Structure 1
Amino acid sequence: MDWVKTFYSATGEWWGAAEAKITDRDHDRVSLLRQHAGAGSMRVLELGCGYGTTAAALAAAGHVVTAVEVSDRARHAVDFARQATHGRLSIVQEDFYAVRLPQPFDVVCYWDGFGVGTDADQRRLLVRISREWLKPGGVALIDVYNPFVWARWDGDEEHKLPNPDLGYEHELHERTTFDPVACVATDTWWDAADPARKISQTLRCYTPADLALLLDGTGLALTAITVAGRTFDPATAQPGSSELLHEQHQYLAVMRRL
C-alpha cells in the first residue's frame, strides 16, 4: 500500500482549495452517527479523515473526536483542530495500521476509504477496531465500495477542466477500470500538464454478503446498511434494490462489537 500517502497527498494538492470545507455531506454524516449510535456527546475515532471536514463537523456537534490521516491532507485537518472549541478535535498524522491510541471509543468511523489493500489488510484493520478501539457495545460506521456500480464504470474516462472560481486549478483526466475476478476498482488520475505521471488508487469492493463473510472472526457483526437515506437489515432480502444495483457507488455498513 505504498501508493496511499502519495495518491492522497497529490490529489489533496489538486483539490484541497476547493474541498477542504464543511459541506452538507459532513452534516449528513453527523446525522448518520446520531441515527446509529444514539444522541449525546461521544468519544469518536475517525480513520482516514482527509481534510478533517467531517471530524470538524462532529466536534462542532459536541463529540470529542480523534482523527487519523496519513497523507498531507492532514494539514487542513490541523487547521480545523485549531478552530475547534474546548479541544474537542485532535489530529494524528500517522498510518492507522500502526498508530497507537490510548483510550477506547464509543464510535469508530471510516468514511469513503475502506477497501485499500488486500482482504487480509481489511481484516487486520477490523480486528484493531474491535479489539483495541471500540468500547463494549460500541458501533463502527464504515463506508464500503459497492461493486455493482464500480463494475458499470469499467472503462469510463473523464476530462475535468479547471474552475478557479471554485478552487479547482488543474486540468485533470480520470480513467476507471474494474477487475471482476478480484472485485477491485482502479481509479487513475493525471494532470494534463504532466501526462506521463499517472497516480492510481485501488479499491477492494464488497457486496454486503461478502462483507459479512470478511467480518467472520474479527469480533464485529454487520447489523445494518444505509444507502441513499434508507436503512435495512442485511440479513433480509432486498429484491429490486435500485440504490445498490444501479445508483450508489458505496453504502454505509453499521457494525457492532460482539
Structure 2
Amino acid sequence: MDWVKGFYSRTGSWWGRAESRGTERDQRRVALLHEYAGPGPHRVLELGAGYGTTAAATAAAGHDVTAVEITDRVDFATADTYTLVRDDFYRVRLPGRFDVVTYWNGFGVGSDEDQRVLLRRIAGEWLRPGGVALIDICNPFVWARWDGDEEHRLPRPEDGYEYELFERTTFDPETCTAYDTWWEAGRPDDKITQVLRCYTPADLDLLLAGTGLRRSAIAGGGRALLDDNHEYLAVLTPTVA
C-alpha cells in the first residue's frame, strides 16, 4: 500500500480547491447514517476522511465525530466542529468506542489480508456492541465495464479544477482488481495509479468471516450493484451483540 499516501495527496493537490467544499453527497451520507444507525446523536468514527467535508456535515447534524486521514488532503479541511486525527488508521490508537464507524469511498486498497486487519480493528477496538459500520465497497460489475476506458479532462478553473488530466481504467477479472491511472497532460511519463480490490457481496461475506463483523444489508438492495455506481454501501454489524 506504499502508493496510497502519494496518490491521494497528489490528486488532492489537483482537485482540492474544487472538492473541499461540502456537497449534496455529504448530506446523502449523513442521511444513510441516520437510516441505518438512527438519528442519534452518535459518537462517529470516520476513516479516510479526505477533505473532511462529510465529517463536517456529520458533525453539523449533531454527532460527535472523530475523523482519521493520512494524506495531504487534510490541508484543505476545516476541522473546527470535529476532531481530526492525521494518522494511518492501520496504526492509530483512539480512545473509547464508537456507535458508528464509516469508511466512505476508499475500502479495497491493499490485499485481502489488509482489509481483514482493518475489519478486525473496527470490530475489536472501535465499534461498540450494537453499533454499525457503513463501508463503501468497490462494485466489480461497473469497474469491469470500464476496462480500457480513457478520459481526457480539461481544466475548469472557474470550478476549481486547474489541471488538464488523463485517466485510464483497466480491470483484472482474475483478481477482481481495478487499476485507475492518472497523469497530467504535460507529464505523460509521470503516471500515478490507485489499485482497488473489488468485492461482490458474496466475496465480501467470505472476507468478513472471522473478523467479528457480518453484512446485514446493502443500501438500496442488490439492484444497486447493477447500476452505474462504482461502489455500493455495505452495512456491517458485530457478529456478537
TM-score normalised by the chain length of structure 2 = 0.97
For residue 118 of structure 2, what is the aligned residue in structure 1?
125
Q: What is the correspondence of 1:95-114 to structure 2 with a 5 Å cutoff?
A: 95-114=88-107
Q: What is the correspondence of 1:133-148 to structure 2 with a 5 Å cutoff?
A: 133-148=126-141
Cα distance in 2, alignment partners of residues 197 and 3 from structure 1: 14
Matched, 1:54 2:54: yes
Please report how far the alpha carbon of residue 51 of structure 1 lies from its aligned counterpart in structure 2 after TM superposition. Answer: 0.2
Cα distance in 2, alignment partners of residues 193 and 102 from structure 1: 46
Please report how far the alpha carbon of residue 245 of structure 1 lies from its aligned counterpart in structure 2 after TM superposition. Answer: 2.4
Q: Which moved more, 1:68-77 or 1:151-160?
A: 68-77
Question: Which amino acid letter does the alignment assign opposite residue 20 of structure 1?
Answer: S
For residue 37 of structure 2, what is the aligned residue in structure 1?
37
Question: Which amino acid letter does the alignment assign opposite residue 230 of structure 2?
Answer: H
Return structure 1 stretches of 4+ with deviation > 3 angstroms.
none
Please report how far the alpha carbon of residue 246 of structure 1 lies from its aligned counterpart in structure 2 after TM superposition. Answer: 4.0
Q: SS at the partner of 2:104?
A: strand
Q: Once the two structures are superposed, what CA deviation does each residue of 1:176-231 show, in whole Å capped at 9, x if it has no partner? A: 000000100000000012211100000000000110111000000100001xxx2x
Cα distance in 2, alignment partners of residues 217 and 65 from structure 1: 28
Cα distance in 1, alignment partners of residues 90 and 121 from structure 2: 8
Q: How many matched pairs? A: 239
Cα distance in 1, alignment partners of residues 54 and 20 from structure 2: 10
Cα distance in 2, alignment partners of residues 182 and 205 from structure 1: 9
Question: Which amino acid letter does the alignment assign opposite residue 29 of structure 2?
Answer: R
Structure 2: runs of 5 or more not aligned: none
Identity %, equivalent residues: 65
Match of 2:218 among 218, 221, 225: 225
Q: Once the two structures are superposed, what CA deviation does each residue of 1:19-38 show, in whole Å capped at 9, x if it has no partner? A: 00110000000000000001
Matched, 1:248 2:229: yes
For residue 214 of structure 1, what is the aligned residue in structure 2?
207
Matched, 1:195 2:188: yes
Cα distance in 2, alignment partners of residues 218 and 102 from structure 1: 21
Q: SS at the partner of 1:176?
A: strand
Question: Which amino acid letter does the alignment assign opposite residue 140 of structure 1?
Answer: A
Q: SS at the partner of 1:114?
A: coil
Cα distance in 2, alignment partners of residues 73 and 193 from structure 1: 23
Structure 1: runs of 5 or more not aligned: 233-237
Matched, 1:170 2:151: no
For residue 109 of structure 2, what is the aligned residue in structure 1?
116
Q: Which moved more, 1:245-254 or 1:157-166?
A: 245-254
For residue 63 of structure 2, what is the aligned residue in structure 1?
63
For residue 235 of structure 1, what is the aligned residue in structure 2?
none
Cα distance in 1, alignment partners of residues 14 and 122 from structure 2: 31
Q: Which moved more, 1:243-252 or 1:27-36?
A: 243-252
Cα distance in 2, alignment partners of residues 23 and 203 from structure 1: 24
Give the RMSD, CA atoms, in angstroms. Answer: 0.9
Q: Once the two structures are superposed, what CA deviation does each residue of 1:130-168 show, in whole Å capped at 9, x if it has no partner? A: 000000011000000010110010000000000000010
Q: SS at the partner of 1:81?
A: coil
Cα distance in 2, alignment partners of residues 97 and 74 from structure 1: 17
For residue 183 of structure 1, what is the aligned residue in structure 2?
176
For residue 79 of structure 2, what is the aligned residue in structure 1?
81
Question: Which amino acid letter does the alignment assign opposite residue 53 of structure 1?
Answer: T
Cα distance in 1, alignment partners of residues 160 and 98 from structure 2: 35
Q: SS at the partner of 2:83?
A: strand
For residue 16 of structure 2, what is the aligned residue in structure 1?
16
Q: Once the two structures are superposed, what CA deviation does each residue of 1:1-49 show, in whole Å capped at 9, x if it has no partner? A: 1100000000000000000011000000000000000112100000000
